């Protein structure tokens, strides 16, 4: 099985978020895909299978479970396909658990067309404040939780207690683990900044998270009065994104770099 590691949302090797991309002829069993993702131990591993129609089926796995939406691994998958299988194409359509996702390219810039996720203010759960060690200005809920803090310096200083943060699932009475905690603030040198923590799915801190920007884009668009915004994710590896509010959809754009091309032996 062809296998790639792609650094997404960066133009520099060893930056952005590394995603595994597997290109099997057909999907292996769920248990094999989960084992491969655990063996890779990246925040997400994508599996991409071409259909007779020319479209692609796409699935994403963290080291511990399958998830229903992932931005950086979708960007990485498109980057591989544009470079290896669809060299003359300007658009790739994926069928996923979150519906159709379209990726277009303009030179080195790849753009994801994803569903917008609208956040509503919710309770400030004790586990959030205790685990982050900062007082939120507000907490919101969409597909993930989103915590607004006062400034970029506060965001950079956060050192989460992940064991406490995992208690949010029971506090919020959730029946699944497929959620993360976005922490965000106005940017000092860009429109907004963020970090993303998802210890319940085996990803303590995700380096760059396209999924989070489905929530961040409409939130900051309304707050800043802008449709097109620049964003940075302030993980140790760092990531750079361009975001556009399209109403019910968002456009999330970035670059990618290939780190590795190889082959997986899976029996």
My answer on whether 25 and 49 are in the same domain is yes
Distance between CA atoms of residues 237 and 239, nearest Å: 7
Q: Identify the DSSP state of 26.
A: S
Sign of CA dihedral 255, 50, 47, 245: positive
My answer on whether 133 and 226 are in the same domain is yes
What pLDDT score does 14 carry? 97
My answer on whether 168 and 62 are in the same domain is no
CA nearest 75: which of 33, 15, 142, 21? 21
My answer on whether 147 and 91 are in the same domain is no
My answer on whether 161 and 207 are in the same domain is yes
What pLDDT score does 266 carry? 66
| Domain CATH code at residue 224 | 3.10.310.10
Q: What is the full DSSP assignment across 126-176? A: HHHHHHH-S--SEEEESSSEEEE-S-HHHHHH----HHHHTTHHHHTT-S-
Q: Give, to the nearest 10 degrees, the angle between helix 71-84 and helix 212-224.
A: 110
What pLDDT score does 233 carry? 98
Domain extent, residue 207, equals 120-245
My answer on whether 98 and 167 are in the same domain is no
Distance between CA atoms of residues 194 and 64, nearest Å: 24
What pLDDT score does 11 carry? 96
Give the total number of structural domains in the chain: 2
Element (H, E) at 205: strand 203-206
What pLDDT score does 9 carry? 98
Each residue's pLDDT expressed in tens, for the chain with a length of 267 residues: 999 999 999 999 999 999 999 999 999 999 999 999 999 999 999 999 999 999 999 999 999 999 999 999 999 999 999 999 999 999 999 999 999 999 999 999 999 999 999 999 999 999 999 999 999 999 999 999 999 999 999 999 999 999 999 999 999 999 999 999 999 999 999 999 999 999 999 999 999 999 999 999 999 999 999 999 999 999 999 999 999 999 999 999 999 999 999 999 865
Q: 104-133: buried (b, 16+ CB within 10 Å) or exposed (e) per residue?
A: bbeeeebbbbbebbebeeeeebebbeebbe
Element (H, E) at 32: helix 30-40
What pLDDT score does 221 carry? 98
Is 86 catalytic? The answer is no
My answer on whether 183 and 91 are in the same domain is no
Element (H, E) at 250: strand 249-254
My answer on whether 142 and 241 are in the same domain is yes
My answer on whether 236 and 129 are in the same domain is yes
My answer on whether 187 and 147 are in the same domain is yes
My answer on whether 9 and 28 are in the same domain is yes
The one catalytic residue among 2, 39, 44, 153:
44
My answer on whether 125 and 184 are in the same domain is yes
């Amino acid at each position: 099985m062809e296998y790639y590691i792609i650094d997404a949302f960066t133009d520099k090797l060893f930056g952005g978020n590394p995603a595994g991309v597997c290109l099997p002829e057909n999907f292996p069993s769920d248990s094999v895909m989960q084992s491969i993702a655990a063996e890779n131990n990246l925040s997400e591993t994508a599996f991409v299978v071409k259909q007779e129609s020319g479209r692609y089926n796409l699935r994403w796995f963290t080291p511990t479970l399958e998830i229903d939406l992932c931005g950086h691994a979708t960007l990485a998958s498109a980057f591989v396909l544009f470079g290896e299988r669809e060299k003359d194409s300007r658009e790739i359509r994926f069928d996923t658990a979150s519906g159709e996702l379209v990726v277009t390219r303009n030179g080195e810039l790849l753009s994801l067309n994803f569903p917008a996720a609208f956040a509503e203010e919710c309770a400030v759960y004790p586990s959030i404040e205790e685990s982050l060690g900062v007082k939120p200005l507000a907490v919101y809920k969409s597909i993930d939780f989103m915590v607004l803090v006062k400034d970029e310096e506060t965001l950079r200083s956060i050192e989460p207690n992940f064991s406490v943060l995992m208690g949010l699932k029971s506090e919020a009475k959730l029946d699944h683990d497929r959620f993360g905690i976005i922490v965000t603030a106005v940017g000092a040198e860009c429109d907004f900044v963020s970090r993303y923590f998802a210890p319940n799915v085996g990803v303590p801190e995700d380096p760059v998270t396209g999924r989070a920007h489905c929530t961040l884009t409409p939130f900051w668009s309304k707050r800043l009065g802008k449709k097109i915004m620049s964003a940075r994710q302030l993980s140790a590896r760092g990531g750079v994104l361009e975001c556009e509010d399209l109403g019910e959809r968002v456009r999330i754009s970035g670059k990618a770099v290939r780190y590795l091309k190889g082959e997986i032996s899976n029996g």
